[in-house]
Structure 1
Amino acid sequence: MMHPDDAVDDGGEGVELHRSRGNLPLAIICVAAGVMVLGVAVEGSLLRMLVALGVVLIAGRVLVGALRPFRFVIGPEGLDVRRPGLRGTYRWEQFEALAVDESARLVGVPAAGFPPGVRITARHPRDHRPAVELLDLHQVREQPDEVVAALTRWSGGRFTDARTLSAGEFATTTFAFTRGLRGYDMREVDRLVGRAQDALAHGGDAERRAARAEIEQARAAGLEVALRGYDSAQVDAALDALCAALTDTDTPTDRTTPA
């Protein structure tokens, strides 16, 4: 939670976010266990050595990421950021728009004067303009609603909370999941998302119930994990939102036009 001096209505002070370190203990344990296995491995146990080495490399990457310098402050002048790929103060007028998307990522559409060289890795969830991924809200201790309140207060009307889209908007939105090691199988996710969006765009109640049931069954069985796939937290958030939209039958296609 936010500290008392970080409150959103605290006069002119900015709101500083704090990185979540929930994966840090597990990463340390995995690195230590992998090193121990490598230390006792004997000649002829090549498979065990390779598995242990893979565990050390993956856990080491998580460990390094958790220990990197991190700063993210939302204030009256803009965003003060220090994280991999972004470093500096970004003024509000350097963004055409900002949004938290359905995967709980904060993205910003660059405006004139935005520093060059920053990679465009996302899109605005409403109009799909190229955007910069500024922060994954799953990686900070503060609740998304707290972050949204700060952005709404300071950004001068540039911010949109797109986590809760209407059924019609979900039917046409483009999900830009981050790709990385050990993520959900991309083909399976694309199939489930496409099935849900088709039901939202063209289906009736029965089609929407069937699409929701398909998502729920796939998740209950466990989505397939691939060596390279979509970020699991982002996919889980998107599937949660799609299931909610599929449950809501009060959509523009369901309403009867008044006489």
Structure 2
Amino acid sequence: MEVHRSRGTLPLAVACVLGGVTVLALAGEGSVLRVLAALGAVVLGGVVLVGAVRPFRFLIGPAGIEVRRPGLRGTYRWEQFEALALDDAGRLVAVPAAGLGLRTTARHPRDGRAAVELLDLRQIRESPDDVAAALSRYSGGRFTDARTPVAARLAGAEIDFTVALRGYFTAQVDQLVHRAQDALAQGGPAERRAARAEIEQARAAGIPVGLRGYDVGQVDAALDALCAALTAEPTTDRETTT
């Protein structure tokens, strides 16, 4: 599996550079604040652009991983790592075997062993689940998905919605969300099925929309995530096995 760097910030960086250069070209005498702001935009955009064009390669395969990114470059066999893990921050870290010589800047999320950060998954196009699946397949049991399960995150999370024009009635949304979270936190299979059915029935009937209410897009996304978590089988350990 080859991982690709995300280009999501590239258009904004280009806009910052072009906008800053334009302001500098048109700024007259005495426009000190405007010039400083333009210089800041150019510098910020330039830093992002430089990072976007720097060499990047991350390949996961049967023999090991190939890494080419700022600060780390090489091809490593699986046996050169004692363990690999993916944490809640979206970082893939690895505990190097003795003698590998990599500088450790992170910690294994489960046992705290010194580790090297291999990849920040927030900066790539592939999903964390896809990367975790490839690591589980090839790493020979060395990989641990240490992320908090989705159900546990949703059960304990404070889900806030923006109040907007033409939004869902807040009382019904709050009721659906709270019952779903209670089922995730404390309920068994029957309670989870009931909470999911309640959400599905409310959506099928149409959640009322008022002049002001919760943002429709945010609520729909949250209810989708809650339904998926309520459907998933409860699990307490996501560590892979051989």
Unaligned runs of 5+ residues in structure 2 are 164-179, 188-242
Residue 43 of structure 1 corresponds to 29
Aligned AA (1:142): E
Aligned AA (1:86): L
Aligned residue runs from structure 1 range 112-151, under 5 A: 112-116=98-102, 118=103, 120-151=104-135
TM-score normalized by structure 2? 0.63
Aligned residue runs from structure 1 range 185-204, under 5 A: none
| CA distance in 1 between partners of 2:39 and 2:107 (Å) | 36
Residue 148 of structure 2 corresponds to 164
Q: Describe the superposition over 1:76-118 as per-residue Cα deviations: whole angstroms up to 9, x where unpaired.
A: 12110100001111221121110110112111111113234x3
**Cα 1:140/1:166, change in 2 over 3 Å:** closer
SS of residue matched to 1:109:
strand
Residue 18 of structure 1 corresponds to 4
Cα distance, 1:246 vs structure 2: 9.1
SS of residue matched to 1:133:
strand
Aligned AA (2:28): V
Unaligned runs of 5+ residues in structure 1 are 1-14, 171-199, 201-207, 222-243, 252-259
Aligned residue runs from structure 1 range 53-202, under 5 A: 53-116=39-102, 118=103, 120-165=104-149
**Cα 1:248/1:121, change in 2 over 3 Å:** farther
| CA distance in 1 between partners of 2:162 and 2:72 (Å) | 37
TM-score normalized by structure 1? 0.59
Larger C-alpha radius of gyration, 1 or 2?
A: 2
| CA distance in 2 between partners of 1:81 and 1:111 (Å) | 17
SS of residue matched to 1:28:
helix
Q: Describe the superposition over 1:115-164 as per-residue Cα deviations: whole angstroms up to 9, x where unpaired.
A: 34x3x222111112121111111211112111111100111111001112
Percent of matched pairs sharing the same residue: 63
SS of residue matched to 2:136:
helix
**Corresponding residue pairs, total:** 171
SS of residue matched to 1:53:
helix
SS of residue matched to 2:6:
coil
| CA distance in 2 between partners of 1:247 and 1:53 (Å) | 53
| CA distance in 1 between partners of 2:68 and 2:125 (Å) | 16
Structure 1 outlier segments of 4+, above 6 Å: 244-247
| CA distance in 1 between partners of 2:149 and 2:45 (Å) | 35
Is the contact between residue 167 and residue 246 of structure 1 (CA under 8 Å) also seen in structure 2?
A: no
Aligned AA (1:69): P
Aligned equivalent of 1:249, options 185, 204, 219: 185
**Cα 1:26/1:52, change in 2 over 3 Å:** same
Aligned AA (1:136): D
Is the contact between residue 81 and residue 89 of structure 1 (CA under 8 Å) also seen in structure 2?
A: yes
Task: Say what the alpha-carbon RMSD is for the aligned residues.
Answer: 2.8
| CA distance in 2 between partners of 1:80 and 1:39 (Å) | 44
SS of residue matched to 1:115:
coil
| CA distance in 2 between partners of 1:85 and 1:161 (Å) | 24
Aligned residue runs from structure 1 range 233-244, under 5 A: none
SS of residue matched to 2:186:
coil
| CA distance in 2 between partners of 1:245 and 1:50 (Å) | 48
